Amino acid sequence: MSDAKSIFLKDATVNAADGDQRAFIRKALGGYYTNRDLQKARYRDWEMARDVASMAKWTAVNDLANVLEKFVGNFERNGGVVHWARDAAEARAIILKIAEDANAKAIVKSKCMTSEEIHLNDALEKAGYGVVESDLGEFIQQLRGEAPYHFVFPCMHVKREAISELFTKHLGTAPTDSPEELTMIARRHLRQLYIDADIGITGANFLIAETGQISITENEGNARLTAALPRIHIALSGIEKVVNYLDDLSVLLPMLATAGAGQPMTCYNTLYSGPRKKGECDGPEQFHLVLLDNARTRLLADPEQRDALHCIRCGACLNVCPIFKNIGGLAYGTTYQGPIGSVITPHLRGLKQWNHLSGASSLCGACTDACPVRIDLHHHLLHNRRNAAKESPTLFDRLFHNGFNFVIKRPWLFAAGGRIFRATLPFLQKLPLPYMRAWMKTRDLPKAPSQSFRDQWKNQNV
Amino acid sequence: MRVSLFVPCFVDQLTPKVGLATAKVLKKLGHDVEFRASQTCCGQPSFNSGQWDVAREAAIRALTVFRGAEVIVGPSGSCVAMMRNFYPELLKGTAHAEEAADLASRTFEFSEFLVKKLGVIDVGAKFAKKVTYHDGCHALRELRLKEEPRQLLRAVKGLELIESEEAETCCGFGGLFSAKFPMISTAMVQVKGGALARTGADFVVSADPSCLLQIGGWLSREGKPILPLHIAEVLASDA
């Protein structure tokens, strides 16, 4: 068993038994469903909007080399500097080099899951830089020393009292149970940090090829300050974030907000078009963009699952996933949690180590229905399972399924086996048989009938 | 119409009454019903476990078993989804692709067959009980059946249909998933079963006998006063 799998099984077992925490997560998401449906109803045709959004991503992803090249040309014309990073190590080295060249000390960051993917904060802190997350949820998670729980709502699992205690401990503020006051505490603390920071690091929601702009979506205004106040702006983005046209945002931005957070639009949607230009009174002196591959091209090379690169990281699939809601985001042990994480993590970090996430699904398909860009999520879990069975078959699985196949290929054996199974079921339930025992721990089996359907049918129709 | 029954392997062995009720309703509506005894399992357990070579053999067997059948009707959204949606994917690019597509076009889930193929909503059943309906994920999201079973239930004399919270939420069965990840599966059925029990219904009805195995198994263990029942059993009832 892989390390990742045994940790997953352990954490999932603990969390699935934590009724209070599960109820808290359900309650936290309660308002989301209502708001999402309300906002979806404002679309003339949500399903058609999904087609349009998915097509916008499809055309870019399926012509990625050309679209990226066009984007980079325009981005550079705007005065930005592009850095290509093959993997996490290269991306970290590039960012460290920029910081070193700039003689930087303090760094402020806005929400960027790609930076979690490359473990950027660790690397920066080890090199001696002060790094502060400015998104409220990420700020709380940073103080807690914990990874984001949900890639859109990083601290959705943390109760208000715990946040108050955390602030008291780290910032010395008086305890409060007012969300507004908690927000103000963080705001007051962060304000000076933007001013002091030499570098602001952001992510990117979309890269627009035709204009060379970066689109960033946020609710708190912290990304605008992160990008605008420090003298250097570094944006870190996966290569799949590119779209062809500015017009594509007319559907992608509202759908990102509605699908992910039940909002009509996110509060701040900003397009960044390069560093401060001559005659402009604000903006960074330097604007760097690190474009990260980190195995995305491996996913691109797989025509069956390439659509996973359409992902706009809205989080809709997590919000509707019964697995996510019952085991929580941290149990996944991945940067990207929930269904999309279970689909792409085996590609990003190795199928053998991470296939268990594809197995840990009832394949209910709620994620696929929720996805605004129509990623075939739950079917890709099946594809991962198939690929894993081919790549690294386990002896137990082969024996079990070949044995099962041996029986179902022979109707007489199936009927005879069924007869024995039914007759001995009360006894079998007491044996430590694989699968049976796990089932019986929390659920009963129906009382076995004396005759199968096929026997009764034969007797009735003789 | 000559209807060939597809009886899921676990229904055959554990809940044969579901198969008998399916046949009873179809016969009552005037159709010839046959059961081809060479059928066994659709292969879904192997398919879902990634063992596609094994599942492919099961699929090819099913093609042979049902060759020449006018229509195939199964009282299970899940097994029908396997045959309708996943056989074509399994057999894509093989010599069996065309036959798989043909089988898919002739295979129906029971409530779907009644409402969409036959246009029947009132089968003349009587069942004076309070029931709530559970949408099996395969029927709901693979076969896109939502209203069909409800239409049938509303037409049953004396039946009161109560919608539950979480009607579309997965029960946590997922085949071998329920035994490979029992802690997650159990948490899911707690959410589902709890919502069903809160409706105050006498029965939870579904078109998916596998979900009923999971839900019923948990309700029984927890001693909740609500029983699992397949929709065919409700429609076959005249009391």
Residue B202 CA to residue A308 CA, distance in Å, equals 43
Residue B181 in domain: yes
pLDDT tens for residues A249-296? 999 999 999 999 999 999 999 999 999 999 998 899 999 999 999 999
Residue A149, judged by CB atoms within 10 A of its CB (0-12, 13-18, 19+), counts as buried
Q: Are B76 and B158 contained in the same domain?
A: no
Q: Are B143 and B197 contained in the same domain?
A: yes
Q: Check: CB of residue A347 under 8 Å from CB of residue A297.
A: no
pLDDT tens for residues B102-160? 999 999 999 999 999 999 999 999 999 999 999 999 999 999 999 999 999 999 999 99
Residue B10 in domain: yes
> Which residues are CB-contacts of A172 (< 8 A; sequence separation ≥ 6)?
none
Residue B123 in domain: no
A388 in contact with B at a CB cutoff of 8 Å? yes
Q: Are B104 and B182 contained in the same domain?
A: no
Cβ within 8 Å, pair B40-A408: yes
Residue A161 CA to residue A110 CA, distance in Å, equals 24
pLDDT tens for residues B1-27? 999 999 999 999 999 999 999 999 999
pLDDT at position B184 over 80: yes
Residue B8, judged by CB atoms within 10 A of its CB (0-12, 13-18, 19+), counts as buried
Q: Are B85 and B163 contained in the same domain?
A: no
Q: Which residues of B touch A411 (CB under 8 A)?
A: 37-40
Phi-psi region of B174 (alpha: psi -120 to 50; beta: other; left: phi over 0): left
pLDDT tens for residues A121-145? 999 999 999 999 999 999 999 999 9
What integer pLDDT is reported at residue A211 of this predicted model? 98
- Select from B49, B145, B190, B218 the residue whose CB has the most chain A CBs within 10 Å, as the one to mutate to test that interface: B49
Q: Which amino acid makes up residue A124? A: L
Banded model confidence at residue A462, pLDDT cuts 50, 70, 90: low
- List A residues 21-60 in contact with B (Cβ-Cβ < 8 A): 22, 26
Q: Check: CB of residue A307 under 8 Å from CB of residue A376.
A: yes
What integer pLDDT is reported at residue A315 of this predicted model? 98
- List A residues 365-384 in contact with B (Cβ-Cβ < 8 A): 365-366, 368-369, 382, 384
Please give the CATH superfamily to which domain A55-294 belongs: NagB/RpiA/CoA transferase-like (3.40.50.10420)
- Residue carrying structure tokens 């906002």: A39
What integer pLDDT is reported at residue A1 of this predicted model? 78
Comparing alpha-carbon positions, the chain B residue that sits nearest to A419 is B13
Direct distance between the N- and C-terminal alpha carbons of chain B, in angstroms, rounded to an integer: 27
Instruction: Report the residue from B169, B174, B221 with minimal CB separation from A363.
Output: B174
CATH number reported for the structural domain that contains residue B180 in this entry = 3.40.50
A421 in contact with B at a CB cutoff of 8 Å? yes
Query: If we measure between CA atoms, which residue out of A163, A170, A99 comes closest to residue A130?
Result: A99
Q: Are B173 and B205 contained in the same domain?
A: yes
What integer pLDDT is reported at residue A131 of this predicted model? 97
Residue B12 in domain: yes
Helix (H, G, I), strand (E, B) or coil at A217: strand
Q: Are B198 and B138 contained in the same domain?
A: yes
Residue B81 CA to residue A363 CA, distance in Å, equals 12
Helix axes A179-196, A160-171, angle to 10 degrees: 40
Query: If we measure between CA atoms, which residue out of A213, A41, A360 comes closest to residue B49?
Result: A360
**Domain end position, chosen among B89, B117, B145:** B117
B227 in contact with A at a CB cutoff of 8 Å? no
Comparing alpha-carbon positions, the chain B residue that sits nearest to A455 is B12
Cβ within 8 Å, pair B16-A456: yes
Which pTM value belongs to this model?
A: 0.96
Residue A298 CA to residue A21 CA, distance in Å, equals 37
Q: Which amino acid makes up residue A104? A: A
A426 in contact with B at a CB cutoff of 8 Å? no
What integer pLDDT is reported at residue A8 of this predicted model? 98
Q: Check: CB of residue B22 under 8 Å from CB of residue B80.
A: no
pLDDT at position A95 over 70: yes
Q: Check: CB of residue B78 under 8 Å from CB of residue B106.
A: no
pLDDT above 90 coverage of chain A, percent: 97
Residue B15 CA to residue B22 CA, distance in Å, equals 12
Cβ within 8 Å, pair B183-A13: yes
Two tokens, residue A380: 């890709």
Q: Are B113 and B142 contained in the same domain?
A: no
What integer pLDDT is reported at residue A460 of this predicted model? 86
Cβ within 8 Å, pair B141-A22: no
Instruction: Report the residue from A17, A359, A386 with minimal CB separation from B183.
Output: A17
Two tokens, residue A49: 């909007």
Residue A269 CA to residue A267 CA, distance in Å, equals 7
Residue A148 CA to residue A138 CA, distance in Å, equals 7
Q: How many domains does chain B have?
A: 2
Q: Which residues of B touch A445 (CB under 8 A)?
A: 14, 213, 217
Two tokens, residue A308: 């996973």
- Average pLDDT on A336-345 reads 98
Residue A14 CA to residue A327 CA, distance in Å, equals 8
Cβ within 8 Å, pair A360-B191: no
Buried b (16+ CB within 10 A) or exposed e, A354-382: bbbbbbbbbbbbbbbbbbbbbbbbbbbbb
B8 in contact with A at a CB cutoff of 8 Å? no
Q: Which residues of A touch B91 (CB under 8 A)?
A: none
Q: Are B41 and B112 contained in the same domain?
A: yes
pLDDT tens for residues A228-259? 999 999 999 999 999 999 999 999 999 999 99
Residue B58 in domain: yes
What range does the domain containing B170 cover?
130-235
In A227-360, the DSSP E strands lie at: 232-238, 242-243, 268-272, 286-292
pLDDT at position A461 over 80: no
What integer pLDDT is reported at residue A2 of this predicted model? 82
Break chain A into its structural domains and give their ranges. Answer: 1-42+313-393, 55-294, 406-460
Instruction: Report the residue from A16, A386, A390 with minimal CB separation from B187.
Output: A16
Residue B202 in domain: yes
Query: If we measure between CA atoms, which residue out of B59, B69, B60, B76 comes closest to residue B36?
Result: B69
- Report in angstroms the alpha-carbon separations of B74 from A51, A312, B26: 32, 39, 11
Q: Which residues of A touch B214 (CB under 8 A)?
A: 443
Please provide the size of chain B in residues. Answer: 239
- Average pLDDT on A321-336 reads 98
Instruction: Report the residue from A388, A402, A439 with minimal CB separation from B179.
Output: A439
Cβ within 8 Å, pair B181-A360: yes
Whether ipTM tops 0.90, in short, is yes
CA torsion through residues A157, A158, A160, A161, sign: positive
Q: Are B51 and B158 contained in the same domain?
A: no
Q: Which residues of A touch B218 (CB under 8 A)?
A: 442-443
pLDDT tens for residues B196-239? 999 999 999 999 999 999 999 999 999 999 999 999 999 999 97
